Amino acid sequence: MSTLTLKDGTEIFYKDQGEGPVLMFHHGWPLSSDDWDAQVIFFLKKGYRVITHDRRGHGRSSQNIYNHTIEQYASDAAELVEFLDLKDVVHIGHSTGGGEVIRYVNKYANGRAKKAVLISAIPPVMLKSENNPDGVPMEVFDNIREQTMNNRNQFYYDLTFPFYGYNREGANVKDGVQRNWWRQGLMGGIVAHYDGIKAFSETDLTEDLKAVDIPVLVMHGEDDQIVPIANAALKSIKLLKNGKLITYPGFPHGMPTTKHQTINKDILEFIQE
């Protein structure tokens, strides 16, 4: 197991596998680097060096109870990139990880990032407000907080149904996929997960999107029940200077797992452009 001790003492677990051009993956809430398995093996076989890490408070990293913000997550990623001396990196983020990626690329990359990919990602901002009237109401996130605090074991299993579209008629429900999501979630710390809800729902990444000038691929399922496409990808693409949008009819939030053949192919094509 490889770990990096950050400046504030937090230990970050990471996997550094393969040789070749570098891809770095940033996972979603409340998961871990294991959520990228379908991408890791695909890109290793294609000749890439693949870096994944468990965000602070998640997975096998320290169950740190402090500083659970998108800003801190991006700073942590920067420390890992600099420690490994990675250059010309393609950063790929899913959901909350997409917010981490766009903040990192804008503020911390220092010329080390080559391209970025945002998958089912939270930017620009999820929360409904006067400036974002079609966003997700605060009561939705308050319920996630309530369930995380008081009913985490069951809630994390129940959440897999909308996450993977398993609540749709005719869905090919895979209990193993659900159990793996549940396993990853419960490996992390409850405080990190609770505080992370504010991070992924309230962080406004509009200015980050506007500022980034490297190529950015935005991928989103049209049946995403977790991060609705109209308030996310369809807005993000209008803010990016050098963005490309791919939307997928019927695909769920967890499409990197359930639709990995399609997602991997499109990421590879973008990387090779």
Average pLDDT of every residue of the chain: 98
Q: What is the pTM of this model?
A: 0.98
pLDDT of residue 76: 98
Q: How many CB atoms lie within 10 A of CB 196?
A: 26
Mean pLDDT value of segment 181-204: 98
pLDDT of residue 206: 98
Mean pLDDT value of segment 152-178: 98
Do 203 and 70 form a contact (C-beta atoms < 8 A)?
yes
Mean pLDDT value of segment 161-180: 98
Q: Is 85 a catalytic residue?
A: no
Q: What is the pLDDT of residues 207-256, one digit of tens each?
A: 999 999 999 999 999 999 999 999 999 999 999 999 999 999 999 999 99
Strand ranges (E), 35-141: 49-53, 89-94, 113-119
Maximum Cα–Cα distance across the chain: 49
Q: Is 253 a catalytic residue?
A: yes
pLDDT of residue 118: 99
pLDDT of residue 81: 98
Q: Is 134 a catalytic residue?
A: no
The H or E element spanning position 238 is: helix 233-239
Is the model's pLDDT at 6 over the cut of 80?
Answer: yes
pLDDT of residue 265: 98
Residues in the chain: 273
Q: For the sheet with 11-17, list strands across it.
A: 2-5, 11-17, 49-53, 22-26, 89-94, 113-119, 216-221, 243-248
Options 53, 220, 253, 260, the catalytic residue: 253
| Band (124; pLDDT cuts 50, 70, 90) | very high
Options 32, 120, 224, 260, the catalytic residue: 224
Q: Which two tokens stand for residue 212?
A: 């980034």
Mean pLDDT value of segment 87-103: 98
Q: What is the pLDDT of residues 59-78, one digit of tens each?
A: 999 999 999 999 999 999 99
Options 95, 120, 201, 236, the catalytic residue: 95
Helix (H, G, I), strand (E, B) or coil at 71: helix
Is the model's pLDDT at 1 over the cut of 80?
Answer: no
Do 193 and 30 form a contact (C-beta atoms < 8 A)?
yes
